[in-house]
Amino acid sequence: MTTTTHSSVDINYTELAQKIKLWGKELGFAEVGITDIDLNEHEAQLQRWLDKGYHGEMDYMAAHGMKRARPAELVPGTQRVISVKMNYLPPDASFARALKNKQTAYISRYALGRDYHKVIRNRLKKLGQRIEQEVGQFGFRPFVDSAPVLERQLAEKAGLGWRGKNSLLIHKQAGSWFFLGELFVDLPLPTDDQSQEEGCGKCNACLTLCPTGAIVEPYVVDARRCISYLTIELQGPIPEQYRSLLGNRVYGCDDCQLVCPWNRYGQLTDEQDFHPRQQLKDQELVTLFNWDEPTFLKNTEGSPIRRIGHERWLRNLAVGLGNANPDPGIIKALEARLESASELVREHIVWALEQQRTKQTQQHRKNARLIRIIEKGLPRDA
């Protein structure tokens, strides 16, 4: 955090807070809130979640201990957190059309554009610099889903929404199609009220319709079952019991948001950076599977997808191809990559080939049975 030299005597913090919200809107944030750093009430729940191993291979979540709930330990000197949200829902998201076509790859809609980490961090940095122009040098540090920060709890305290049963932040006028970011500051700004009451009520749609049952109880997600974790965070093989449940979801999952009634109020993004890249949106699984590593790196430059690397990209796509409708072209593509594939990818190709061949055999049997029925029952018209 930058060295502090501002003089609190000369600053009207109430006016400054109002200006910060105005500057935030000018920088493209849909909403800006300010909260204190007291997250004590969340420490026990965080520890229970870690103790149950729900974080899976995300060891960094446990490595930082309670720093996630103690902003001043993470960044000494922090007094307040400026919490922001930025909408990312693109026009023509085509959710149902993409999920319905088993031959195309479904990529979580947040990942179809530019990496949000870079976009929001740069805007937060500009917000900090704008505050600095107003008050002189002060301590600030931006975070965007990249450090041990309880961002949803902070955003909830700052009045940006409530944490839904799917664990995501939900807003009554915007649903949950937005990113969160935080600016830690050493200024004693006035805080906002936790203005939105919990709005889930008796609705359990996200728990009921999660493909893998990852929402093990209201507000609690076992990441080890979550498709987003399995396709993004997991380094090794995707457990076989979950492969068929992934369907054509090859990077992330939006299901728990798609079934949330509040997302009928989702706001479309104004950010061109979050609009889909055509080489990623609703492409044929085979097309993406045939990308070599240079093509993958070129087509995912500046995208959050690049972080999983070409090997896990192929792993995910192999599962998608196994779940696709039977197609000789898919079998050909899988077989072509089998010999040169890494051990990780090969395991998933072998599984996918077994799925495709089984479905193809079943299809042939049904077709043969249909022909026999026609020849026997309709001999004149056979």
Residues marked as binding?
Answer: 68, 145, 166, 169, 180, 200, 203, 206, 210, 226, 228, 253-254, 256, 260
Beta strand 106-107 with 249-251 is parallel
In whole angstroms, what is the distance from residue 146 CA to residue 149 CA? 8
- Residues facing 185 on adjacent strands: 80, 140
- Binding site for [4Fe-4S] cluster: what residues are annotated? 200, 203, 206, 210, 226, 253, 256, 260
Taking the C-alpha atoms of residue 134 and residue 132, their distance in angstroms, rounded to an integer, is: 5
Q: Give the residue numbers of the binding site for cob(II)alamin.
A: 68, 145, 166, 169, 180, 228, 253-254
Residue with tokens 């500057």: 23
Assign residue 80 a region (left: φ > 0; alpha: ψ between -120 and 50; beta: otherwise).
Answer: beta
Least Cα distance to 279 among 165, 147, 167, 113 occurs for: 113
Q: Which two tokens stand for residue 378?
A: 């309709």
Strand partners, 143: 182
Residues with active-site annotation: 145
Query: Measured between alpha carbons, how far is 253 from 99 in angstroms, rounded to an integer?
Result: 10
